[in-house]
Amino acid sequence: DGGITQSPKYLFRKEGQNVTLSCEQNLNHDAMYWYRQDPGQGLRLIYYSQIVNDFQKGDIAEGYSVSREKKESFPLTVTSAQKNPTAFYLCASSITFSSNQPQHFGDGTRLSIL
Amino acid sequence: GQQVMQIPQYQHVQEGEDFTTYCNSSTTLSNIQWYKQRPGGHPVFLIQLVKSGEVKKQKRLTFQFGEAKKNSSLHITATQTTDVGTYFCAGDQAGTALIFGKGTTLSVSS
């Protein structure tokens, strides 16, 4: 069954700690995205990747880093530089980066600060 | 920069009433997409509108794209409790990443 798998579902971070959120897709999609969702704020783009070995900053990239070494994987690291990391993180993918492609979302990871 | 504004932020209706959410862009969009996120869930793609003045229907849901391709609406006729959730519009100019509106959260009481 094709789809996007995000793990873990819940994650707790200590002060000064980096944490990595996993996103894997078996849809053979070229483009992948990371969004942050806060109550009342909609979806804000953190990073996106149009193709393997390529990625670009979105609107709120500060304090985050990504890699795209494999087509199916797009992990997001929340670094200690991100001072307000508590949020719901959503990974998405689309066939290509073209604007007329719908995005498919994973179930999300909820990150909290201890 | 480009913005996609969505109103209202919240809407409560009685079951059977109609519901409409509006989406407005500061710039002309190449297309607009609509997503629904159920409580505790993730956004799910509903539909895409591409042409100026386009109207599409999905059962009780009617989607419109404005003539100037700067605004869009989603209308639900005779809401049901299964319609509960947050509805997002998302648009872009050609070649850029999608920009999501902040969403309209719909609650329905029976």
pLDDT tens per residue, range A44-90: 999 999 999 999 999 999 999 999 999 999 999 999 989 899 999 99
Question: Is B68 part of the contact surface with chain A (CB cutoff 8 Å)?
Answer: no
Amino acid at position B29, single letter: L
- Residue of chain B whose Cα is closest to the Cα of A39: B102
Residue A113: its pLDDT value, please?
87
Residue B1: is its pLDDT beyond 80?
no
What's the burial of B95, exposed, middle or buried (CB within 10 Å: 0-12/13-18/19+)? exposed
Residue of A49, A99, A100, A109 to mutate when probing chain B, most B C-beta within 10 A = A99
pLDDT of residue A1: 58
State mean pLDDT over A97-114. Answer: 91
Residue B90 and residue A44 in contact, taking contact as beta carbons nearer than 8 Å? no
Q: What is the pLDDT of residue A105?
A: 98
Residue of B6, B98, B105 to mutate, testing the A interface (most A Cβ within 10 Å of its Cβ): B98
- Burial of A102: CB neighbours in 10 Å, binned 0-12, 13-18, 19+: middle
Compute the average pLDDT of residues B82-89. 97
Region B26-30: mean pLDDT is: 91
Looking at the partner chain, which of A41, A99, A107 has a beta carbon nearest the beta carbon of B31? A99
Give the residue among B35, B64, B38 at the shortest CA–CA distance from B47. Answer: B35
Q: Which residue has the higher pLDDT, B13 or A82?
A: B13
The shortest CB-CB distance from B50 to any of A100, A103, A107 is to A100
| A30, pLDDT greater than 70 | yes
> What whole-number percentage of chain A has pLDDT above 70?
98
Read off the tokens for A104: 């498919």
What pLDDT does B3 receive?
84
A55 touching B (Cβ < 8 Å): no
